[in-house]
């Protein structure tokens, strides 16, 4: 069970971490994956209106019929055949990394906001397109009527400092392509992400504690 008072208290610490690194205006996406609807409620009670989810079934079960004031960001590996069911629930598709997803999102959620996930570590297991694929995917998204609001990247596991080169690269790409949003930084590396110009951090553990094992 998630205690809303704990979440509110942890949020103060996250905000302090942001302030200390110069990231006062950075948007906080509360990553509730592996937690229940109580985590979403606790986040909302603490004033967080952006929720991040990674697993299709769980997202639908937890957030279908949610409070319309909540913005749901899908940040996990996405399969084409899950798009249709997710379309009524997801507001921002952050993990778009290939043309077939663009086609399917455009079909099931016309005009949707998307972000392109870029592989900034060379670890293909995390998903993400190569930087060279950004231009053609932006073109495809635009032709399909989708609104690409920015780029998303996942730092490497390990020392926070190891994330810096990839974050710097991602920020450069966001600027080069004239996009608004740069989604990078999680619990372990949010300071580095702020220093490198993130606009939205995706934070789970720092708000809700260690995640329970998936069922
Ligand atoms: C789980 C997850 C997060 C949150 O990770 P924490 O380390 O718990 O903050 C952020 N981004 C993505 C893509 C994730 O899958």
CA of 186 to the centre of ligand 1 (A): 6
Provide the pLDDT confidence category of residue 20 given band limits of 50, 70 and 90.
very high
| DSSP 8-class letter at 162 | G
Domains of the chain: which residue ranges?
4-208
For the chain, give the number of residues.
215
For ligand 1, what atom is nearest to the CA of residue 202? Answer: 10
d(CA 139, CA 120): 21
User: Residues with beta carbon inside 6 Å of ligand 1?
Assistant: 31, 33, 54, 75-76, 154, 186-188, 202-206
CB-based burial of residue 164 (10 Å sphere; 0-12 exposed, 13-18 middle, 19+ buried)? middle
The average pLDDT across 64-80 equals: 93
Instruction: Determine the pLDDT at residue 173.
Output: 98
pTM for this prediction: 0.97
The average pLDDT across 97-103 equals: 98
d(CA 84, CA 126): 22
List 151's β-bridge partners, or say none: 116, 182
The distance of Cα 120 from the centroid of its chain, to the nearest Å, equals: 15
Q: What kind of fold does domain 4-208 have according to CATH?
A: TIM Barrel (3.20.20)
Provide the pLDDT confidence category of residue 215 given band limits of 50, 70 and 90.
low
Beta strands 71-74 and 147-152: pairing type? unpaired
């Amino acid at each position: 069970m998630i205690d809303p008072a704990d979440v509110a208290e942890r949020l103060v610490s996250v905000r302090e971490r942001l302030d200390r690194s110069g990231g006062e205006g950075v948007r906080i996406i509360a990553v509730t994956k592996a937690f229940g609807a109580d985590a979403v409620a606790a986040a909302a009670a603490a004033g967080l209106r952006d929720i991040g989810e990674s697993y299709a079934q769980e997202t639908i079960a937890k957030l279908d019929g949610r409070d319309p004031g909540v913005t749901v960001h899908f940040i996990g590996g996405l399969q084409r055949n899950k798009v249709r069911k997710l379309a009524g629930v997801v507001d921002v598709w952050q993990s778009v990394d290939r043309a077939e997803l663009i086609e399917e999102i455009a079909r099931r959620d016309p005009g949707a906001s998307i972000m392109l996930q870029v592989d900034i570590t060379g670890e293909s297991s995390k998903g993400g397109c190569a930087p060279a694929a950004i231009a053609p995917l932006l073109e495809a998204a635009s032709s399909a009527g989708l609104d690409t609001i920015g780029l998303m990247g996942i730092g490497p596991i390990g020392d926070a400092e190891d994330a810096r080169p990839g974050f710097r690269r991602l920020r450069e790409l966001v600027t080069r392509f004239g996009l608004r949003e740069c989604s990078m930084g999680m619990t372990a590396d949010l300071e580095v992400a702020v220093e490198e110009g993130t606009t939205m951090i995706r934070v789970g553990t720092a708000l809700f504690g260690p995640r329970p094992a998936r069922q």
